[in-house]
Amino acid sequence: MAKKLNYLGILQRKGILSTSQIAEAQEMAKSTDIRVRDAIVRLGYASSEEVTKAVAEACGREYLDLTNVVIPPAIVELVPESVARENGILPYQFSGDTLRIIMSDPNDIETLDKLRFILNRSIEPILASK
């Protein structure tokens, strides 16, 4: 079972969210069937970048700002475009038998398992905002 992320506590500790904002985002998420992190962004309480950084911190993953990142075509070609688009991932680096991929949800175990199977490689996720 995946570990429950405490990114809300991180956002609160950093002064980005208040208890009432968290409660409102949780209620919105429940009533509209979206993730709490998406509700926080929609409500304008935090940016997608702030939320994703907090999620990365909570699960011990690296956060990557994609603003100035250039990925060599040889790395991009390691994952078929249809697979990358369908799963919302981007290949980033390849070393040994491990492919580091950029994704926004570290709890998407199904996608990680699918990539391991399709590519027959170890997969290491790095987080970035959508």
What per-residue confidence (pLDDT) applies to 2? Answer: 47
pLDDT given for residue 57 in this prediction: 93
pTM equals 0.82
DSSP string, the chain: -PPPP-HHHHHHHTTS--HHHHHHHHHHHHHHT--HHHHHHHTTSS-HHHHHHHHHHHHT--B--GGG----HHHHTTS-HHHHHHHT-EEEEEETTEEEEEES-TT-HHHHHHHHHHHTSEEEEEE---
- Each residue's pLDDT, cut to its tens digit, for the chain (130 residues) gives 344 559 999 999 999 999 999 999 999 999 999 999 999 999 999 999 999 999 999 989 999 999 999 999 999 999 999 999 998 999 999 988 899 999 988 888 999 999 999 889 999 999 998 8
Q: For residues 59 and 45, what is the distance between their CA atoms, to the nearest angstrom?
A: 21
Determine the length of the chain.
Answer: 130
